[in-house]
Amino acid sequence: MAFDNIVAKFHLLNSSVLNIIKKELTIEWRQRYAINGILLYLVSTIFICYLSFNVRTNVLQPITWNALFWIIQLFVAINAIAKSFIQDREGRYLYYYSLFSAKSLIIARTIYNSALMLVLAILGFVIYSVILGNPIENIALFLINLVLASISFSFALTMISAIASKASNSQTLMAILGFPVILPMLLMIIKISKNAIDGLDYSASYQEIVTLVAINMIVATASYILFPYLWRN
Amino acid sequence: MKKYWWKGLTILILFYVIIGGFLLEVPRLNILNETIRALYFHVPMWFGMIIMLAISLYHSIAFLNKSNPISDIRASEYANIGVVFGVLGIVTGMFWAQYTWGEWWSGDPKQNASAIGLLIYLAYFVLRGSLEDQEQKARISAVYNIFAFCALIPLLFILPRLTDSLHPGSGGNPGFNAYDLDSRLRLVFYPAVIGWALLGVWVATLRIRIRKIENALYQ
């Protein structure tokens, strides 16, 4: 009986999560300027880096290539995810409040942001390698890392965006609160990425991947438990 | 905690730690030499920081449960003193590093991790400053405090163990359980941890009382 109850609740949560994701996609499609803005931001940052280093393709040191790529990804992530809570008006929150539970909102937004980050990361990677060259030897590991990185950025920054949206100077706060929280993950990501560039075997990055997943689980659990307190107004 | 005995105890312990820490025999080890006494003044700062931040975490959780404004004052003041301990830990560590590693800041994983940890909590105070409404400030900063503590755990306890570090206790260097923490060091080290932590609690309780009086006056 109790089990049935849990299953029913899970179904309810699941369907509302799916609905919210659908809603986010529709809104994103209707207001294409937001996603276009992020894309343009991504492309122009890469182009600025290309011009300021004044390099021809394939002459950037692998370490510099690696650091630059992840710094660009970090800033794109902060800008892309910041809008997930900061752009919503107070009134819309009241409307959401009557429609679905806080927990399904944070799950849906996190999943949606992970997908968004993945798209941006892959696009960024393609453009970046075309313009600045591609020194990676273990492409498969790099792609796995890209997926993990998108999920990590989304897990940590979605919650931070929700916190920052409550304050007045939310854009600055987003960066201040976000950087230190994302840094441990970023260190792991950069290390795995360096291993992929050097063409090392998977076993060399195994420990880092496990740590990254573990940190993600801690952060995700904390967000899931804490978000309802944040939302209650 | 309004009784006096534990304050007297704090003073006694700290006198013992300072006098004993400088005068008692310590093991003669290469490179470390007399800097091994940093164990009494540097390491307890980190213990103190973790204890203060844990108390702060406890009060933040209590605030989310009961919405009692006192819990928020307590959480923020314990976080405050925790950050002070953290800064002292970094500074004492830098002094020690200057004499043993030859550089104030050598980018050791432990140094980097503690600097990031401090950034997290400094951000907590910026967040508090940028929220106007008292109730909202208390609730949102409590949420961030818990979130920050969760982010701090991997930073301080997991990541430094993954990377090579020159810090005692990692990378094959002698640490807590090896020969360098022999029983003579323990005689001062354990009281030092207790003494500095008690001092932190004392400072925090004083500041909490000041904040309570201020709140009463303004209302």
Of B32 and B68, the structure prediction assigns the larger pLDDT to B68
B143/A230 CB distance under 8 A: yes
B150/A179 CB distance under 8 A: no
Q: Which amino acid is at A72?
A: I
Chain B positions in Cβ-Cβ contact with residue A211 (cut-off 8 Å)? 154, 158-159, 162
pLDDT, mean of residues A92-110: 82
Q: How many beta-carbon pairs under 8 angstroms link A with B?
A: 82
Q: What pLDDT does residue A94 have?
A: 73
B139/A167 CB distance under 8 A: no
In the three-class reduction of DSSP (H, G, I as helix; E, B as strand; rest coil), residue A144 is classed as helix
Give the other-Cβ count within 10 Å of B167's Cβ. 18
**What does the pLDDT look like over B111-140, one tens digit per residue?**
888 888 889 899 999 999 888 888 888 999
Please enumerate in sequence order all residues whose Cβ is within 8 A of that of A112, keeping only pairs 6 or more positions apart, or say none.
Answer: A20, A21, A24, A25, A84
Mutate to test the interface with B, among A181, A188, A207, A211 (most CBs of B within 10 A): A181
Give the range among A95-104, A109-118, A143-152, B81-90 with minimum mean pLDDT.
A95-104
How is chain B split among helix, strand and coil, in percent rounded to 5? 80, 0, 20
Predicted confidence (pLDDT) at residue A55 exceeds the cutoff of 90 = no
Of B141 and B38, the structure prediction assigns the larger pLDDT to B141
Quote the tokens at residue B113.
Answer: 């991790």
Mutate to test the interface with A, among B108, B143, B163 (most CBs of A within 10 A): B143
Is residue B184 a contact partner of residue B27, using CB atoms and an 8 Å limit? yes
Q: Dmax of chain B from CA atoms?
A: 61
A180/B144 CB distance under 8 A: no
Nearest to A231 by CA among A109, A81, A77: A109
pLDDT, mean of residues B29-37: 71
pLDDT band at B31 (very low <50, low <70, confident <90, very high): low
Q: Chain B residues within 8 A (CB-CB) of chain A?
A: 64, 113, 116-117, 119-120, 123, 126-127, 130-132, 136, 139-140, 142-144, 146-148, 150-151, 153-155, 158-159, 162
Q: What pLDDT does residue B105 have?
A: 84
Identity of the highest mean pLDDT range in A147-161, B10-24, B124-138, B157-171: A147-161
Of A5 and A192, the structure prediction assigns the larger pLDDT to A192
Predicted confidence (pLDDT) at residue A181 exceeds the cutoff of 60 = yes
In angstroms, the CA A121 to CA B163 distance is 27
Structure ipTM: 0.82
Q: What pLDDT does residue B186 have?
A: 78
Task: Supply the mean pLDDT for chain B.
Answer: 84
DSSP B130: T
Q: Which residue of A has its CA nearest to B67?
A: A229
Task: Supply the mean pLDDT for chain A.
Answer: 85
Q: Which residue of A has its CA nearest to B126?
A: A173
The predicted model scores a pTM of 0.85
Q: Which amino acid is at A114?
A: S
Q: Which amino acid is at A180?
A: P
A163/B131 CB distance under 8 A: no
A179/B117 CB distance under 8 A: no
Residue from the list B116, B117, B127 with its beta carbon closest to the beta carbon of A167: B127
A58: alpha, beta or left? (left if phi > 0; alpha if psi -120 to 50): left
Quickly tell me which residue has 């923020």 as its tokens. Answer: B76
**What does the pLDDT look like over B80-99, one tens digit per residue?**
999 999 999 999 988 888 88
Half-sphere exposure in the Cβ direction for A104 (13 Å, CA)? 21
pLDDT band at A57 (very low <50, low <70, confident <90, very high): low
Of B3 and A71, the structure prediction assigns the larger pLDDT to A71
Identity of the highest mean pLDDT range in A82-86, A229-233, B145-149: B145-149
pLDDT band at B163 (very low <50, low <70, confident <90, very high): low
- H-helix segments, A31-101: 32-53, 62-86, 90-99
Q: Chain A residues within 8 A (CB-CB) of chain B?
A: 156, 159-160, 163, 166-169, 173, 176-177, 179-181, 183-184, 187-188, 207-208, 211, 214-215, 218-219, 221-223, 226, 229-230, 232
Is residue B18 a contact partner of residue B192, using CB atoms and an 8 Å limit? no
pLDDT band at A12 (very low <50, low <70, confident <90, very high): low
Q: What pLDDT does residue A114 have?
A: 94
Is residue B76 a contact partner of residue B128, using CB atoms and an 8 Å limit? yes
Host H or E run for residue A210: helix A202-231
Give the range among A93-102, B162-171, B185-194 with minimum mean pLDDT.
B162-171
**CA-CA-CA-CA torsion for B116, B117, B122, B125, nearest 10 degrees?**
140
Percent of chain A with pLDDT over 90: 32
Is residue A220 a contact partner of residue A114, using CB atoms and an 8 Å limit? no
Predicted confidence (pLDDT) at residue A8 exceeds the cutoff of 70 = no
